A and B are shown apart, each in its own frame.
Chain A
């Protein structure tokens, strides 16, 4: 399974765009990149998933370069309620089904 590396923490202000980058140098051909959000004392919640190029949904965008060795989660115009831990996971959705959560990035949004 591909190992991921993310910044430990980030601070931002309300209304700003936040970009969190995840490195996954040994990503495999069949692996997808998935991002989860976790609030304190709650289970992780799916944000977005992609394989290559760019994926956008109602809450975030995911940018994946051609070599797929990294990915960037982009949160537009964050609010205080976006303060959470964000995890990047890499794995084959049709393969082992086992997901390795790294230490994640603790995002703190300030007023």
Chain B
């Protein structure tokens, strides 16, 4: 069964450093997402991405964050200057939506990257 993969599984960084979290969505999917989950809290939407551009973003997704699909398979989340409060699990998700057809769009989530900012 196809799955979303994420690397690394755990990233430890110093405050102020840049980090890049990587995701490989399912190959025929068209929509990509990043979410985060601070320990013990709810899953929070960050950004959605379609056709090589951001479709939606939340208020959390400020100028310190950026996303990119550098090639046909990877989808990355970059945090330019990490803060202590960026420590969280970051989940990538993807889904396929048929154009012009209102059908369900199950999001497939990856296993997550645990980011620890010291």
CB within 8 Å of B: which residues of A? 30, 32, 34, 36, 38, 41-46, 49, 87, 93-94, 96-104
Contacts and interface: CB of A to CB of B under 8 A. Distances in A.
Interface string B43-67: 1110010100001101000000000
The 10 closest A-B CB pairs, nearest first, are A43-B109, A101-B43, A46-B106, A93-B105, A49-B104, A98-B56, A43-B91, A94-B102, A97-B48, A103-B42
Contacts of B118: none
A30 B104 contact: no
B43 A38 contact: yes
B112 A93 contact: no
B102 A44 contact: no
Interface residues of B, number: 30
Nearest to B32: A97
B107 interface: yes
Contact of B110 (A30, A43, A94): A43
B106 to A, nearest CB: 4
B5 to A, nearest CB: 11
Contacts of A38: 43
A94 B91 contact: no
A93 B43 contact: no
Contacts of A34: 104, 106
A36 to B, nearest CB: 8
Interface string B74-99: 00000000000000010101000100
A102 B42 contact: yes
Given A93-B97, A101-B44, A49 B106 contact: yes
Interface in B1-39: 4, 31, 33, 35
A97 B89 contact: no
A45 B56 contact: no
A99 B104 contact: no
Nearest to B114: A41
9 contacts: A38-B43, A44-B107, A45-B109, A49-B104, A94-B105, A97-B31, A97-B33, A97-B50, A97-B55
